[in-house]
């Protein structure tokens, strides 16, 4: 199925000079299906929206009627937006629409063009009263007694815009819009999931999933563990974690893992780490870079407590999640 072109209807909050701070979409549709409808707007099809966008006179009437129905405030603006192909992001409307597509599970991480997203998104103060331009903060403070700032960032919390079915998130501030959470995902307080990253099945997340990283079903990321991303620091290798894997508490990962792999607690495995490959009798077969083992199944990575060397052994254990922790109805 071709995803594009896509047309969406949303509402943007504006700053004191009329610049857009965010976009909350109510309808997202393409030629094949309705991808989102919050039920605020009924019976809106791609074909009818396309005709409206081509005829400015009818579009104006439609926008006025819809603005009244949505009870837009003076600092809000109705958005009718089209993306005709998966090209680089040009503006805030493009950016939010593509982030929505990820969090709505329409597209998986690394399968949509997000080039240009940082320059398209403004830095915003996310407050208990909604998005505010940092330059307007003092004005808001003077007019609102119960005013607090939760964060200052380009990306909002996912749950302020999208709540996927069948997930549990202990601290919503740690999951950005644009995260992809499959049904059965449980994110505990120390877990973090960036945009264009996420889970491909029921998983336990108590560590960090950096941008571009995907985690396979039935895998467990232990408390405080970390995965290397590609946004900064020079790393250009997309990290992935296969199915039935375990990253121990406070471990770190800089290579892709296959299925049924374990990285022991406290071990940070980078691509350049020197690894002693062992057989089932604990004999050293060879010494390789960790990157040479990328994507292989059934591996156990440990640090020898006597020599300090990193060792890789055949993994004979299976990871089983507690089903009651992932039945998130």
- Positions annotated as catalytic residues are 206
Max intra-chain CA distance, the chain: 78
User: CA-to-CA distance for 241 and 295, rounded, in angstroms?
Assistant: 8
Residues 11/76, Cβ–Cβ less than 8 Å: yes
User: CA-to-CA distance for 273 and 27, rounded, in angstroms?
Assistant: 48
Helices (H) and strands (E) in the chain, counts: 5, 26
Cα radius of gyration rounded to whole Å, the chain? 23
Beta bridge partners, 71, equal: none
User: How many CB atoms are closer than 10 A to CB 254?
Assistant: 19
Query: In 205-273, which ranges are continuous DSSP H helix?
Result: none
- Name the residue among 245, 251, 249, 248 with its Cα closest to residue 319: 245
DSSP 201: S
In the chain, the N- to C-terminal Cα span, in Å, equals: 30
Beta bridge partners, 130, equal: 127
Question: Which backbone phi and psi does 176 adopt, to 5 degrees?
Answer: -80, 150
- Name the residue among 295, 285, 320, 255 with its Cα closest to residue 312: 285
């Amino acid at each position: 199925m071709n995803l594009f072109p896509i047309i969406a209807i949303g509402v943007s909050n504006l700053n004191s000079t009329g610049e857009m701070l965010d976009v909350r979409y109510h309808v997202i549709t393409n030629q094949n299906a309705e991808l989102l409808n919050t039920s605020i707007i009924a019976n809106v099809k791609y074909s009818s929206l396309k005709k409206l966008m081509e005829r400015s006179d009818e579009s104006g009437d439609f926008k006025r009627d819809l603005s009244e129905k949505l009870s837009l405030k003076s600092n809000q603006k109705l958005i009718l937006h089209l993306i005709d192909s998966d090209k680089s992001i040009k503006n805030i409307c493009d950016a939010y629409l593509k982030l929505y597509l990820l969090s709505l599970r329409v597209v998986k991480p690394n399968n949509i063009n997000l080039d240009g997203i940082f320059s398209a998104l403004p830095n915003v103060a996310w407050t208990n009263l909604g998005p505010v331009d940092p330059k307007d903060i003092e004005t808001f403070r003077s007019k609102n007694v119960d005013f607090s700032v939760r964060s200052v960032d380009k990306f909002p919390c996912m749950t302020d815009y999208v709540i996927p079915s069948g997930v549990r998130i202990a601290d919503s501030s740690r999951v950005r819009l644009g995260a992809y959470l499959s049904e059965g995902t449980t994110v505990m307080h120390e877990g973090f999931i960036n945009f264009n990253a996420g889970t491909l099945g029921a998983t336990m997340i108590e560590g960090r999933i950096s941008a571009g990283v995907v985690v396979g079903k039935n895998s467990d990321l232990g408390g405080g563990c970390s995965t290397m991303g590609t946004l900064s620091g020079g790393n250009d290798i997309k990290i992935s974690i296969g199915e039935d894997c375990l990253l121990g508490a406070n471990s770190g990962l800089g290579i892709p893992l296959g299925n049924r792999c374990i990285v022991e607690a406290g071990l940070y495995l980078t691509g350049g780490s020197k690894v002693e490959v062992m057989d089932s009798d604990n004999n050293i077969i060879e010494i390789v870079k960790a990157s040479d083992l990328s994507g292989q199944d059934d591996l156990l990575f440990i640090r020898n407590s006597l020599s300090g060397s990193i060792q890789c052994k055949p993994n004979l254990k299976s990871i089983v999640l507690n089903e009651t922790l992932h039945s998130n109805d």
